[in-house]
Structure 1
Amino acid sequence: MFSTLDVDLRPGCGLGAFELGTSLWNILHMLRQMQHLFPQVEIKYDPDTSSTTPIILHLRPHLDLLFSGKHQRLRTICVRKLRDTSPPVTLRYKDTVLSSADEVLRRVGINRSFGPTYAGDDLRYPGVWFSFEEDVIGEGLKGALHREDRLQEVKRVLISQKDLDNEQGDALEEVSECSVMNGDIALATAKVSCAYVHDGVTLRFYPSTSTPIHIRIGTTTAQDLAVTLGSPLRVHYKDDERMTIHASVHDDLDTGYFYNYFQHGIDFYISGNTHIVKKIIMHSNVPGSPLFQVYKRCNWEIEGKPEDDEDDAPPTKGFYDRFETISRFLGPREPPQSMVLDRTIEEENITLPSPPTRLHGYDGIVLEVSEASQVLSVTLF
């Protein structure tokens, strides 16, 4: 016997526990706690553009969640197979049951609850539209013409932000800033002009009116991080000594520890002697990579030197750029010799099509790169 999936419809805002604008990392983390309701979760994306691909989470059999390609934010929610009873779904709007095992959602019921709207193949309202076609999310939004039968049965319900649901809008565009993003990192910028790359990273947060903070390598302390970012989700003490063969004698004497901010997509390596930040690692959360969903996507960029003193828009490269592009940005010469890293070699239950990555080192920067030339993480030191 299946338990009923009982969800409230909030046009322009969300459905049940799912809020528009929420990050992919947060949604998947929440779904792990809701396996009794969603035992089957399928992740769909384009492997050829893995760093910028829109992602669909298919929660069998009723829900499709579409996430934007760059910021990995919940953009559109689709409720489908309303008559499927495994499990049955109850859809509510305010105090009214729109659809349930005993109540079929029809055109007349929508008109009764939402009032009149513009003529078209579907019934569209700000933040929600009702379709009489069986198409899955992301496929043709234009259905065949129907006569406006008042008893016509609704097949799909789609919820999106009110400023993104117009008929001419791009269904795959980014999500507008909203309150659910508050406290998340909007942008992390590392400068490579002069010696700034060794200086750390500037973090900008949602809402966009928030004051940026600067995490400085060699200056910011563990206590500073706790004050500005809160307590890390995990403190990891360095116990893997395999890389010490590449380190200097001074580094070898300082074991250090990591502050892991999975919810921000950032790690900080901190000196065990001085408790000052020595390295910053920012993660791209690329689907199909070994660390996918361990960290939230950090929207990082590397900022170059302005062309002149009056240049208000210095050149930048970000996680969405391919390795070859970023490598040329960091230095005109051939990419430096790389080291191979296989994060899955000791994991028996992880199978990936191309798990090995390569580490490319530059002055103050290390890039971890996939076989598809996607930059999975950037380390500043």
Structure 2
Amino acid sequence: MLTLEVVPERSLGCEQWEFILGMHFSQAVAIIQGQIGIIKGVQVLYNDTKPLEIDMVINLPQDGIRLFFDPVTQRLKIILIFNMKLIKLKYCGLTFNSPELLPSIEQIEHSFGATHPGEYDSEKQVFTLNFRGLSFYFPVESKYQKGSTHNLASLQFPPGSSPVVSRMAIYSGSSVDQATSPELPLSCYHGQLYLQKAEVLRGDGYTKGLCLKIMAGTNNRLIDSTKLQFERKVLLGQSVQDVVSALGAPSKVFYKSEDKMRIHAPNAHRRVTTNRSDYFFNYFTLGFDVLFDARSHLAKKFVLHTNYPGHYNFNMYMRCEFELPLDSATVTAYSDWSDVCKKLTPSERPVVLNRASSTNTTNPFGSTLCYGYQDIIFEVMPNHYIASLSMYGDGRPIKNQQLRQA
């Protein structure tokens, strides 16, 4: 049984780890992965067809915890304890919920102090006691209501039958119904860069590069903790040194072992006689990759990821908040492909992409479709949302606008 500390309007955790309001979905998953054998029975819940309207949920049924993430920002907004019997809880180091100590109204008031009068919902038969950033829910049968007002004074219980908390919610703000995910806390930066916005720089029918608005944080005991915002540009045709100078070292370097899309290139029949491999710089917290040519070591492709649940690469990258001005349309990470096609005319015959790993030859999420437009490839999911955006070239106008894969 987990023993966790409750911090109203902030977190639920212990000395080793914390679920912190505002943390990204991937960071919560990393915590759970690091607690294998301690946290068990994990479920991820999301909506395939409406990924931007319904919260993503991490459900821990054996520990009585549910984590609700905003579907747009993908940051934690509500921590719900839905089964108080499966967990031990502390506040300021003192236990207020355990198998030996039931969280009655008197116990909650003793542990957390005075608050505003609670509210009684006669339809749901639930009495709610609210603190700032923290709510306790008590199931109360209607037979205990003695008046018309909906507060604690309107409820009368026999001696020794005070209701016990059935659920508890931690959130940011004054009401759980209006809870929103806060900004990424400084404690979750971990020395990484995070993307605020990416603007695609375009020429006349070709891509120049990216203008990135980046956030960084310092959380050091020796200096004042603060958030920094700055702007960087990375361009197609830039060298490895230029990109690293602008963005720092990548999260990972990946060497291409094979290119299954090569068959669609104009020169696919040519034999490759070199052992050199093109390589990606993966910037997971910025949500994109940079592909470098093996010979020239110049950037020849950017891949921007939208991190929608139900995609093969979900949870590998944080969402790239891009904005792409394209002729009569502006495409973003939230654009519906059907709406984009009303303003643009992409390639009529898409390429079917069905990823599979070496250990798992089947893709449980199904294939995606890749459409070409000028020097851009749109990877589209079955729900019509854009999974990734690939832009290739050397930053100069392309004479032949025919769809090709770099």
Q: Same fold (TM over 0.5)?
A: yes
**Residue 110 (str. 1) matches residue 112 (str. 2):** no
SS in structure 2 of the partner of residue 210 of structure 1: strand
**1:74 shift after superposition:** 0.6
Inter-partner Cα distance in structure 2 for 1:168 and 1:44: 20
Are the equivalent residues in 1 in contact too, given 2:5–2:93 (CA < 8 A)? Answer: no
Inter-partner Cα distance in structure 1 for 2:321 and 2:139: 36
| 2:251 corresponds to | 233
**Residue 188 (str. 1) matches residue 198 (str. 2):** yes
| 2:186 corresponds to | 179
| 2:11 corresponds to | 14
| 1:310 corresponds to | none
Q: Pick one of 212, 215, 230 that aligns with 1:206.
A: 215
SS in structure 2 of the partner of residue 242 of structure 1: coil
Of structures 1 and 2, the larger Rg is shown by: 2
**1:52 shift after superposition:** 5.1
One-letter amino acid of the counterpart of residue 305, structure 2:
H
**1:299 shift after superposition:** 2.3
One-letter amino acid of the counterpart of residue 279, structure 1:
K
Inter-partner Cα distance in structure 2 for 1:299 and 1:166: 28
Inter-partner Cα distance in structure 2 for 1:23 and 1:363: 34
| 1:283 corresponds to | 305
**Residue 337 (str. 1) matches residue 349 (str. 2):** yes
Inter-partner Cα distance in structure 1 for 2:52 and 2:240: 31
Are the equivalent residues in 2 in contact too, given 1:51–1:374 (CA < 8 A)? Answer: no
Inter-partner Cα distance in structure 1 for 2:30 and 2:362: 18
Structure 1 spans left out of the alignment, 5+ residues:
135-143, 308-314
Normalising by the residue count of structure 1, what TM-score does the alignment of the two structures yield? 0.81
**1:298 shift after superposition:** 2.1
Structure 1, residues 273-329: CA drift from partner, whole Å, max 9, x if none? 232221111111111222222322222222357x9xxxxxxx743222211223344
Q: Compared with structure 1, are the counterparts of its residues 209 and 262 closer, same or farther at alpha carbon in structure 2 (3 Å cutoff)?
A: closer
Q: Compared with structure 1, are the counterparts of its residues 300 and 97 closer, same or farther at alpha carbon in structure 2 (3 Å cutoff)?
A: same
Q: Pick one of 314, 318, 328 that aligns with 1:296.
A: 318
Q: How does 1:258-269 map to 2 (within 5 A)?
A: 258-269=280-291
Count of equivalent residues: 348
Q: Compared with structure 1, are the counterparts of its residues 37 and 167 closer, same or farther at alpha carbon in structure 2 (3 Å cutoff)?
A: closer
Aligned Cα root-mean-square deviation (Å): 2.9
Q: Pick one of 166, 176, 191 that aligns with 2:175.
A: 166
SS in structure 1 of the partner of residue 244 of structure 2: helix
| 2:146 corresponds to | none
Are the equivalent residues in 2 in contact too, given 1:359–1:368 (CA < 8 A)? Answer: yes
| 1:5 corresponds to | 2
Structure 1, residues 148-173: CA drift from partner, whole Å, max 9, x if none? 769321111111113xx42662x5x4
**Residue 68 (str. 1) matches residue 70 (str. 2):** yes
| 2:134 corresponds to | 128
Structure 2 spans left out of the alignment, 5+ residues:
120-127, 141-149, 217-226, 393-406
**1:190 shift after superposition:** 1.4
Higher mean displacement: 183-192 or 75-84: 183-192
Structure 1, residues 86-120: CA drift from partner, whole Å, max 9, x if none? xxx22111121111222111211221222222223
Q: How does 1:31-180 map to 2 (within 5 A)?
A: 31-50=32-51, 53-61=54-62, 62-84=64-86, 89-121=87-119, 122-133=128-139, 147=155, 151-162=162-173, 165-166=174-175, 169=178, 171=179, 173-176=180-183, 178-180=185-187
**Residue 257 (str. 1) matches residue 279 (str. 2):** yes
Normalising by the residue count of structure 2, what TM-score does the alignment of the two structures yield? 0.77
Are the equivalent residues in 1 in contact too, given 2:285–2:318 (CA < 8 A)? Answer: yes
Inter-partner Cα distance in structure 2 for 1:51 and 1:344: 26
**1:205 shift after superposition:** 2.5
| 1:140 corresponds to | none
Are the equivalent residues in 1 in contact too, given 2:353–2:369 (CA < 8 A)? Answer: yes
One-letter amino acid of the counterpart of residue 49, structure 1:
K
| 1:360 corresponds to | 371
Are the equivalent residues in 2 in contact too, given 1:24–1:73 (CA < 8 A)? Answer: yes
One-letter amino acid of the counterpart of residue 365, structure 1:
I
One-letter amino acid of the counterpart of residue 380, structure 2:
V
Q: Does 1 or 2 have the higher relative contact order (CA < 8 Å, sep 6+)?
A: 1
**1:30 shift after superposition:** 2.2
One-letter amino acid of the counterpart of residue 356, structure 2:
T
State the identity %.
23
| 1:369 corresponds to | 380
